[in-house]
Amino acid sequence: MSHVTGPDTSDLVERIQQEWAQAYPDLDVAPIGILGRIQFIAARSSHRLDRRLEPHGVTRSEYDVLGALARSPHPLRASEVVSTTMLSGASITKITENLARRGLLVRRKSERDGRVVLLEPTDAGRELVETELPRRLADDEAALSGLTPAERESLAELLRKVSAAVHV
Amino acid sequence: MSHVTGPDTSDLVERIQQEWAQAYPDLDVAPIGILGRIQFIAARSSHRLDRRLEPHGVTRSEYDVLGALARSPHPLRASEVVSTTMLSGASITKITENLARRGLLVRRKSERDGRVVLLEPTDAGRELVETELPRRLADDEAALSGLTPAERESLAELLRKVSAAVHV
DNA sequence: TACCACTATTTCACTAGTAAAATAACTGGA
DNA sequence: TCCAGTTATTTTACTAGTGAAATAGTGGTA
């Protein structure tokens, strides 16, 4: 393991940025240093979560759905889950039918409105979320471990500004 | 269009963070404020790029491949494209065959090593990248428009630290 | 030359996710 | 009551992407 095993992935974004800069010297490629790294961190940490969830036999999307239900003080409609998870309605139908079959949540029709499906985690579903949540927070915490409390505060604030300005 | 059309998505992450905090008051959910927002920004800006590319009839993955080729001073092997794009080898085969059919890149076998496929953009492929790149940079720039030069520098540096620490 | 271990790419079979059409149920008039 | 219009979810038909097996080529060794 002492020899080079490929590009140093922690510098992948920097390398890409430099390649763009060399190929198109008249463009200001500085934004790539920020947005590219955001993409990179997001991809990596998604991947990490996938691996954490593998032993539980749930995908990240399934976990997102269960999480939304577990942190809610009341059952959610399918459409409410759509709006917090960034998944399509079609996906929510598939995923929740599947999770219901596996006993991790319960689907029932609303009595008030027969079009609506109400979703609620079972004890097993809630338990899955609760055992995995601290691990997930610990992983995220580890990613931030090189930052002082002041730096974390500053990073959170800067990201808040960016996320308010990023249009679809 | 003057009424509420859904949750204020710029605060979606904050809302989710608060929901977690209320459901599990004994956990420190602060990391979600950072990693969650990174996920959010990544998803939004990916989406935005998708829409920019739609009129050109290329997907984001296809554009990533073309970009890697366009910014390289020499043809790349399929495996080299794999390592910069985070796509699988199987995908690179499919995508590049498709782009070759559409005249945006050329695939040829290496003379030195018959296993290797060398990929190079055509003029049309390069042109597509070159017309879209400034727009993409402008979009990214717009996302950062609320930040001073010093804040951008600081954000880039903080993200560099995080990306070095985020393990798969 | 003939073989073997290794590497690069492609093929195959499959999964997750989607947009759009279809279905089912509600609401507020006439 | 009975629509017409609207809304929530499901179904359908499809696409992108994947891991693993298969294929094809290389280079070193005897």
Amino acid at B46: S
- Return the number of other C-beta atoms located less than 10 Å from residue A35's C-beta: 25
Is residue B123 exposed (0-12), middle (13-18) or buried (19+ Cβ within 10 Å)? Answer: exposed
Give me the phi and psi of B121, to 5 degrees please: -70, 150
Give me the phi and psi of B111, to 5 degrees please: -80, -35
Contacts of A38 in chain B (CB under 8 A): 38, 41-42, 45, 159
Residue among A28, A34, A53, A127 with most chain B CBs within 10 A, to mutate: A34
B71-85: per-residue pLDDT in tens? 999 999 999 999 999
Contacts of A133 in chain B (CB under 8 A): 20, 24, 27
User: A17: nearest CA in chain B?
Assistant: B71
The model's pTM is: 0.92
Give the closest residue to C9 (Cα–C1′).
B115
Q: How far apart are CA B77 and CA B80, in angstroms?
A: 5
- Write the DSSP string, A37-65: HHHHHHHHHHHHHHHHHGGGT--HHHHHH
* Mean pLDDT calculated for residue range A78-103: 97
Which residues does strand D reach (CB under 7 angstroms)? A 77-79, 82, 89-90, 92-94, 96-97, 107, 113, 115-117; B 59-61, 86-91, 94-95, 112-115
Q: How far apart are CA B20 and CA A2, in angstroms?
A: 43
Please report the pLDDT score of residue B6 as a whole number.
37
Please report the pLDDT score of residue A65 as a whole number.
98
A31-57: per-residue pLDDT in tens? 999 999 999 999 999 999 999 999 999
Residues 6 or more apart whose Cβ sits within 8 Å of residue B8: none
B21-78: per-residue pLDDT in tens? 999 999 999 999 999 999 999 999 999 999 999 999 999 999 999 999 999 999 999 9
In chain A, helix, strand, coil percent, each to 5? 65, 5, 25
Contacts of A54 in chain B (CB under 8 A): none
